[in-house]
Amino acid sequence: MTAKTGRKSRTLRVGIADLRHAKERTLAIARGEITPGPHDPKVWFPSAESFGKVLSTGNRELLARIQDERPASLQALSALTGRAVSNLSRTLRTMEGYGLVELRRGPRGTLRPEVPFDSIELQVPLRAEAAE
């Protein structure tokens, strides 16, 4: 349980695998050749560098702010952070593509950002074939 929310802590597991290995793994799962384990990554980044860019210190702070403040819209988040709505929209769309944030439709087409986890666990193989 987290102290702030009173709910069970949730961890998003992410891994590093180049596009070829991630695609091969996905197809093997679809064919039933691999059964993902409960501690296997659910999200894959193509490189450690891309992980670092998407989850920079500023972006992790943004996720924490969304989780703590629960803004009702991107406009409300902009007011909280001082970042332009266009900048937030671009950043959050990228994060949404990796499953790091969910953008929910609100009244009159507004987007409400949500962070569905409390922590991120990164698995980094030393060799590309280890991601298989």
Q: Specify the CATH number for 11-131; select among 1.10.3720.10, 1.10.10.10, 3.30.70.1230, 3.40.50.300.
A: 1.10.10.10
Annotated domain spans of the chain: 11-131
pLDDT of the residue at 104: 94
What's the per-residue H, E or C state across 31-76?
Answer: CCCCCCCCCCCCEEECCHHHHHHHCCHHHHHHHHHHHHHCCCCHHH
Q: pLDDT tens for residues 67-115?
A: 999 999 999 999 999 999 999 999 999 999 999 999 999 888 889 999 9
* Mean confidence (pLDDT) of the chain: 88
pLDDT of the residue at 131: 47
